[in-house]
Structure 1
Amino acid sequence: MKVLITDDEIQIRRGLRMKVDWEEEGFIVVEEASNGKEALELLQNINVDVVLTDIRMPIMDGIALAKHCQQEFPGIKVIVLSGYSDFEYVRSSMKEGVKDYLLKPVAPDELLEVLRKIRKEVEEDKRKQIESARIHVIAETHLQEVQDQFLLHLAKDEWLEFSYVLERLWQLQLEDLAQENIKVKFLSVEIRECEDNLTNLKKLCLPFQMICKEIAKELGGTYSFYDPSYANMVHFLKIIDLEQTNSTAILIKKVQQSVKTSLNLETVIGIGNTVTGLSEMKNGYISSLLSWSQSQLGSHSQVMNETVTRDVIYEFEPDFERQLTNAIEGMNIEAFKNTVNTVLKKTENQSVLSFCFVANRVFFLLGSLAKKYNMETKDIQKSMWNCQQSIGELNSQSKSIDHLIQLAQVIVEKISVARFSNGQLMDNIRQYLDEHYASEISLTSLSELFYINSSYLSDTFKNHIGKNYSEYLVELRVEKAKFFLEDERLKIIDVANLVGFSNSGYFSTVFKKHVGKTPVEFRNFLDINGKVIR
């Protein structure tokens, strides 16, 4: 630990150096100063842990130096040396930043005792800082993961209530997207290997995602997220400012240069259409994927900007989506086949983009249903891969339809098994709750979502989980709240909102009932143990 000795008498400074074996005690005297002003100038350029200073000095005394250290360098521990006549003055100044004091003449054993005490405090402070930084990183990472997940839900139109979406955007610090009639554009960015760089792309996906996060944060009004359905890709959601006509070009240039410089990889970028409002975001997202899908194979950078307008895009009507969902949930594969064939074959005489648009919407729908029932088996993954590849090829409409039907068949079979296996069905429902715990999901709406009787769901849930639905949801929210309470920057009402409580008073009552402490008491308990992020 580094020490700065401050005294206007050089003999005293030399004497202090000789009173203890500094290095053996884990200290090193890095500098000396003859007054407080000189000491402060030194502190601007060197890192110091401990300042040992006389109280009586010209220009600036020790107490004034301690006050400045408290304001400008709060991590430094100040030890004051004083004569007996200054004892009461020094003791009263402890609140001004003085950590400890020693009476002159300084006895070696007393100096040693104070230094050891200070060393322990500094080491403990550093340990707490490291732990606080670790918790902060975890909290930031968790927030980013939740933001990414919600942006993906937004892009795929996987949300229930419009008012809930607006509220959730504010809770997740995405309030820029809650503007009325907001105009946005999606960009889908894929990384590809260079001829002389055959590194496994899988290993570079995480660094690629981190680069995109930094670019989005730097540019402002821009967000990036990852869709597991598309390997080696990151998607940008950019708010369109009509006054900045070149903002998209700046983003593209930044991405291409950063990825090339940092990872030595090429990028293929699909630019989507500008869309207005939250309800149009799915169309904007798919249009960026359609642009990307027009790229040529090969390891060279490309920017694809296919204009997709209403006169070439088949209108994907909500009734069509409901029919497909009902067919899958009702385990009626024939109804699914008939609906898909009827709608997709209408696009045969239209543009390839029109067919690809509708086929992708069907694919997204099936992917959402597979996720809803926690289907991560090899046959599901293989079917989804085949669908994605065939639609992306854009050269075989009948092949794409066949793959969609095959995927639907596998999903229907899995749903059938889940319906007749209470354990698997309850696991699917529990996973859904774990992801959507902050939403307003009643037992009735949950039963409708999974196409089962609410009374049957209530009884089966309790038998399988060991507690009723409402108890499980409340306990889940309380556990999530404990994590958010570690971040002192979040107000109690913010934590309540993040876990699904609209009223902080009711949240506090429920929290105390389950934890034995109010949220404030629980946070104070964490603070005492050094687990609160400041």
Structure 2
Amino acid sequence: MMYKVLIVDDEPMIREGLRTIVDWETEGFEIVDTASNGKEGLEKFGQIEPDLTIVDIRMPGMTGLDLIERVRKDNSSAHFLILSGYAEFDYAKRAIVSGVSGYLLKPVDEEELLDELRRVRELLQREQEARSARIEQESALPKAQIVEELLFEDEPLGEEQRAKLAGALGLSAPAYRIALLDAHGGIETESRQHAVFRQRLKESFEERGGDVLFSAGSHIGLLLVRRSHVEGGETLRSQLAEAAGDLEFHAACGPTVERLTDIASSFREAEQLLHARFFFESGSLIDRAAYEERFAAGDARGTDDEAEDGPQLGDKLYYALDIRSRDAVDKVLAELERTAVSRRMDEGAVRGEYSRTLSLALGKLSSSASSAAELAQNYHSLLLSDVNQAQSYGMLKRQVGDRLGELIDRFGGANKDTVLKQMIDFIRRNYSENLKLEVLAEMFGYNSGYLGKLFKNYTGEYFNAFVDKVRVDKAKELLGQGLKVHQVAARVGYSNADYFHSKFRKYVGTSPSAYRNEMHGEQQSGEQ
């Protein structure tokens, strides 16, 4: 066979000269391409996968040694001959460390090049013989080990090598696919349960069905040998469930392929799909169709991101808990789920999003002056434990929902006053927040326009005017304590001091600073 050669040199005369200096074919080599710089050489190396690369050590941009070091990250067995018009020792040292096969000075001497080519050819022949011997030995290996060789070989296998390994399996079918299983049980019995599970899989799939059971890191792998491209997923899921018994598991299936040499692509997709197992209940079989169906609703709806000045989910959950409304809590949790699904979050991101939302809501409750503060603080740690320990998203959602419902019951449940009385109490407790009628209407389950009319009839004030009056009353109290105007404005919920000034004058008839001075004057005269 002819060994492929790639020449990388920034001098055209050198590239062309090397083509003619020796009879390459006689020596068992064929120059398949050349490159004029290191970057181009790296690209062509990936395309050609040459047996030998002859590369100039000094080139503008990416040097020859840079190219070699980049290749070495993915290919430890590639062979290189270094060309250089410079004999610096430090370059030679780097070349030796990089594992080059030879080092030649320009102008290249014909005899020296021939000597190096013959030496490299012997190395390549020995490596080829060793690979062939290994593949022959592997033909006698257990089928599981051959599948693992096909999927997890440290060094990339050529098409011919993959074909030999596939042939060693002795399988012949129109379709193949990979299934990966993640199983988990109780800590004390998990090892025994796993052993029983593997034995049942071996009996059901390998001994009866001709499939191949293998190991894939912490997962169990199955090479499924199929008589047809069409396979009933429910049948496979039932077989797996029967083998699992009481052991909880998730399974993911890659697409079918026609050739055994292509099973790595099926394995890669199965591996990707298994990463989404947190969103599926125990016992699920995840294929591409199931994955897309699970996330389709979120994709269609979009992320529904809140406007920048709107309340975040943590604030909404705080409102829902503060008004003791289970329905409002359920709405926030549903919105949290839509966010997780639409963004296709992985397990860690989902747990993080839930933890942040709960921490913000429970943190605000814990710091409030209400009687619920201590109870909220205790439930904070319980909820975070639920989030971190849940085995699936469904379990997480149920546990968090149940825990928050329990918390509302401990608060005393929804009080028996009217919705309007609850709204008024809520405003008086949270006047410093960015309160909006639309948000409260959503929390209480009303149309905002209708709730606004009810509120006006009940209080005699429009919602925004009522909020302003509550804030101004609190501002009068704080000004009487001697706080500065800008401090009071921020404390009662006005980020703009001028806007606060106009609202205060509207309802009190004087400016905040004048009111503050008047109150202090009265206090001083009362003290005399």
The TM-score with structure 1 as length reference comes to 0.31
Higher relative contact order structure (alpha carbons within 8 Å, sequence separation ≥ 6): 1
- TM-score, L = length of structure 2: 0.31
Structure (1 or 2) with the larger CA radius of gyration: 2
